[in-house]
Every structure is written in structure tokens, then in C-alpha cells.
């Protein structure tokens, strides 16, 4: 879809260039996208900022998830499905004798981390002072094995209760072996998950319904964001939410992946470049708190003053603003996304020797003056809001040794704007301009 903007652009008798009149200009509207998890959030959706939806899978077809990253041993439970985990004993040998007295309550329930993929419910009782403690077990360097140290109670979505422990992570720390039994020690059995079967993925999965592993994720290199449901703290209590988690991998030697940061609209005037921002590896920066449910109107309210800056797996930077949410009716997220430069491109890449923009800040007038050794063709000048909405777009012709322009932007609200100057066939130069009263 296109919008028509009628804006005045004066060029000329300005650094010796020819004056041309104003004209109606056409500008492409901001890229708007949507992702639907389906009614009642029935599916998880993996998404690439560059290419869109990558994959979708039934959100309830698994019970346990095993981290594939080498030198990590995260084990998550499908909390949203109804799988619940509780610590039964810190003595591994208590498997046959543990009982539930005083150990089963909502306050004692163990949860997956919503800040890192590394820490599932089974890892939540780890000691962070000990780098070899994975919560459910301890790593032994000489044997390259993690041996279990704890026993857990596990409630499945069908409300059946079990006790479970991870015996070992062996074969060069690749094969998880688990033991499970009913609370009365009946139906005791063991099963294994070999994470080499899921090479290139973030997690391999286990289903108790089929007593088999499940390969349900796209390749980790293919997606940036996951639209899913997860538990998070809401006013001090754990609560299930529908939100967005980032694809970031942290290992013993460091981390890499999608990073992001949140900027409130009131503070965007301080943002001169996304290089001025601190990007975070917390996987739930986008999360779920850009929306809230109004119990009086029974409608979802979307915060219109939050901009997310996201660097995808390739390092490309994007601005994301959420504009709509369908709730459990259709599980649809609606958002604007636009690439944003990670830094100002070089003048040489734009074919320019110099580019000046003044006054900045100003009450609405913006002058541009560029020089070049040899430059011809169309020059596109775009004005965008900090959230990526394209507001105005203008065109002028370069005349060999440069161009000049004067934009009248008095009708714009006060705030920070992005101005792009792109000579035909060249890279764009991005400027930050502040509009005052």
C-alpha cells in the first residue's frame, strides 16, 4: 500500500543550484507484519526478521526439552501445557523413598528461565558460584560426564504424578539418560535423549505420550524470534503470558545471537544511533509487557510509546513497534518493523565529499547541502519517525558537483526523526534530526 504526501521541497539559488517547485510525492508505507499463533495460542512460531515466518509447530506436542548447545545442559518443561516440576530431594539416592509431604505447592514450583535458554526448570536450583553445577547434576572434567544429584516430582498435563531424575549426560556429554517412576515406584523405567540427533537446533524434545524424541524446531541459524507462551513474573507471581523470545545462545565460552533493547518514546530524543544503545542478551526484552488487558473494556491495550531495537543473527539492526494483539481469539501479533542503520554510512559509499544538515535542532526548517566530485541522477530524501514510520519522501536531482535542499517540516510533532539521503545507485547516509516547538 502507498500513501501520498504533499510536502514542500525547495531546491536552488542555494549554493548555486536551480530552484524547483513543490510537487506531490509518493512514499512506501512502513512494513507491517503479523504472526499468528492461532486460537488459544495453539502453535509456537519461529520468525526471521529478514524473511518472515520460518516454521510453526503444535505448542503442546512435547513435555521436556533438552538443550543441544555443547558444554551446556539445560532441560526445560512444557509449563504452558501443564507440566509442573518440584524438587523432591537434593540426595540422589532418595529416589525410591521420597514423599511429597511439604514439597508440592505453587510457591515451590520450579520454572523455566525467561531470560536465558540455558536454565530450564531442572536447572533452576543450580549454584551459580559453581560453573560445573547444572542444577540437576554436576560435571566431572576427567570423564566429560554430568552425573545426577537431585530427584524431582513431575506432574504431567494429564495430572498424573511421577518422580524423575537425570542419571547422566554421557558419551562426550551428548546422551541424557533419565529415570522415571510413579510415586509408588511402579512403572519404573529409563529413557535416553541423544542431542546429536538435533545438531544445529537449540533443543531436542521428548514426549511422554509417544515415549519418543521429537524434532520440532527449525535450524537455529534460520530464526531470530520465537512467538510463544511462557511463564514470567507478573507483580511478584509467576503467570503465563504470550510473548516474543529472542534466539540467543550462551555457552561456557561466551554467547552470540539476537540481542535487543527497549527505548521508551519519551527518551528517544537521546538516541542518536543504535550504537548509542546498550543491547542485551536477555531473551525476553521484547517479551509481553508491551500489551495489557483492560478488565473493564475486555480489550487489549498496546503501549504506543515503546520502540524495540533488535540486532538479528546477521548483525542487522531493526526497529520494532507492536501495534496490535488478538489475544486468545486468534493469537495474532501485529507489529511494524524497519531496518535501521547500525552506524552512519561513509560519505564515500554515498558518492559524496561532504554533507551538512542545519539547523539541528530546529522548529521545522531543515537545510541539506552536499558536495561531490561527480554525482548525477535522483537523490531520495526520506524523513521517518524513530519507530520507522515513513512520514515524507522527497526527490531531487544531483548536478555533478552536489545538491542542496530545504525541507519545511513545521507540521511535524516535536521529537527525534531519522533523515535518509540516498543518491541513486549509492548507499544512504542517515542523519538524526530533532524537531522542537
CATH T-level assignment (fold) for domain 2-29+346-435: Immunoglobulin-like (2.60.40)
pTM here is 0.75
Q: Give 387's pLDDT tier (boundaries 50, 70, 90).
A: low
Three-class SS of the chain: CEEEEEECEEECCCCCCCCECCEEEEEECCCEEEEECCHHHCEEEEEECCCEEEEEEECCCCCEEEECCCCCCCEEECCCCCCEEEEEECCHHHCCCCCCCCCCCHHHEECCCCCCCCCCHHHCCCCCCCCCECCCEEEECCCCEEEECCEEEEECCCCCEEEEEEEEEECCCCEEEEEEEECCCCCCEEEEEEHHHHCCCCEEEEECCCCEEECCCCCHHHCCEEEEEEEEEECCEEEEEEEEEECEEEECCEEEECEEEEEEHHHHHHCCCHHHCCCECCCCCCECCCEEEECCCCEEEECCCEEEEEECCCCCEEEEEEEEECHHHCCEEEEEEEEECCCCCCCHHHCCCEEEEECCCECCEEEEEEEEEEEEEEEEEEEEECCCCEEEEEEEEEEEEEEEEEEECCCCCCEEEEEEEEECCCCCEEEEEEECC
Across 169-183, 334-348, 352-366, least confident range: 334-348
Tens-place pLDDT, residues 70-113: 889 999 999 999 999 999 999 999 999 999 999 999 999 999 99
Residue 263: predicted pLDDT = 85
Q: Where are the domains of the chain?
A: 2-29+346-435, 32-57+222-340, 72-215
Tens-place pLDDT, residues 9-55: 222 222 222 222 222 223 333 578 999 999 999 999 999 999 999 99
User: In the predicted model, what is the mean pLDDT of the chain?
Assistant: 86
Looking at the predicted structure, is the pLDDT value of residue 154 above 90?
yes
**What share of the chain in percent tops pLDDT 90?**
55
**What share of the chain in percent tops pLDDT 70?**
87
Tens-place pLDDT, residues 237-284: 999 999 999 999 876 666 788 999 998 765 544 554 566 678 899 999
Across 18-22, 343-347, 375-379, least confident range: 18-22
Amino acid at each position: 500500500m502507498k500513501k501520498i504526501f504533499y510536502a514542500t521541497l525547495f531546491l536552488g539559488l542555494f549554493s548555486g543550484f536551480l530552484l524547483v517547485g513543490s510537487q506531490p510525492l509518493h512514499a512506501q508505507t512502513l512494513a507491517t507484519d503479523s504472526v499468528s499463533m492461532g486460537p488459544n495460542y495453539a502453535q509456537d512460531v519461529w520468525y526471521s526478521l529478514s524473511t518472515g515466518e520460518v516454521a510453526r509447530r503444535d505448542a503442546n506436542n512435547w513435555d521436556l526439552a533438552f538443550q543441544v548447545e555443547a558444554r551446556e545442559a539445560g532441560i526445560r518443561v512444557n509449563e504452558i501445557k501443564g507440566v509442573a516440576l518440584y524438587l523432591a530431594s537434593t540426595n540422589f539416592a532418595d529416589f525410591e523413598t521420597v514423599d511429597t509431604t511439604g514439597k508440592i505447592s505453587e510457591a515451590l514450583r520450579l520454572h523455566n528461565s525467561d531470560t536465558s535458554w540455558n536454565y530450564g526448570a531442572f536447572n533452576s536450583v543450580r549454584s551459580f558460584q559453581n560453573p560445573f553445577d547444572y542444577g540437576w547434576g554436576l560435571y566431572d572434567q576427567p570423564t566429560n560426564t554430568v552425573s545426577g544429584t537431585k530427584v524431582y516430582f513431575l506432574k504431567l498435563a494429564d495430572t498424573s504424578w511421577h518422580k524423575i531424575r537425570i542419571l547422566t549426560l554421557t558419551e562426550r556429554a551428548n546422551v541424557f539418560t533419565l529415570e522415571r517412576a510413579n510415586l509408588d515406584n511402579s512403572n519404573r523405567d529409563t529413557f535416553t535423549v541423544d542431542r546429536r540427533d538435533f545438531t544445529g537446533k537449540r533443543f531436542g524434545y521428548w514426549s511422554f505420550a509417544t515415549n519418543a524424541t521429537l524434532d520440532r524446531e527449525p535450524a537455529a541459524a534460520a530464526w531470530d524470534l520465537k512467538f510463544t507462551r511462557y511463564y514470567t513474573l507478573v507483580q511478584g507471581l509467576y503467570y503465563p503470558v504470550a510473548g516474543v523470545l529472542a534466539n540467543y545462545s550462551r555457552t561456557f565460552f561466551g554467547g552470540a545471537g539476537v540481542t535487543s533493547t527497549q527505548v521508551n518514546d519519551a527518551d528517544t530524543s537521546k538516541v542518536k544511533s543504535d550504537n548509542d544503545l546498550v543491547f542485551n542478551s536477555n531473551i525476553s526484552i521484547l517479551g509481553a509487557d508491551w500489551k495489557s488487558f483492560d478488565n473493564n473494556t475486555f480489550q487489549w491495550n498496546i503501549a504506543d510509546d515503546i520502540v524495540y531495537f533488535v540486532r538479528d543473527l546477521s548483525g542487522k539492526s531493526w526497529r520494532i513497534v507492536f501495534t496490535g494483539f488478538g489475544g486468545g481469539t486468534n493469537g495474532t501479533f501485529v507489529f511494524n518493523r524497519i531496518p535501521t542503520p547500525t552506524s552512519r554510512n561513509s560519505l564515500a559509499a554515498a558518492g559524496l565529499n561532504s554533507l551538512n544538515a542545519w539547523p539541528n535542532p530546529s522548529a521545522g526548517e531543515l537545510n541539506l547541502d552536499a558536495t561531490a566530485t561527480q554525482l548525477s541522477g535522483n537523490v531520495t530524501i526520506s524523513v521517518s519517525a524513530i519507530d520507522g514510520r515513513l512520514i515524507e519522501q522527497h526527490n531531487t536531482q544531483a548536478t555533478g558537483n552536489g545538491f542542496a535542499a530545504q525541507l519545511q517540516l513545521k507540521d511535524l510533532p516535536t521529537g527525534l526523526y531519522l533523515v535518509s539521503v540516498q543518491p541513486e545507485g549509492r548507499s544512504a547516509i542517515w542523519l538524526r534530526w530533532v524537531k522542537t516547538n
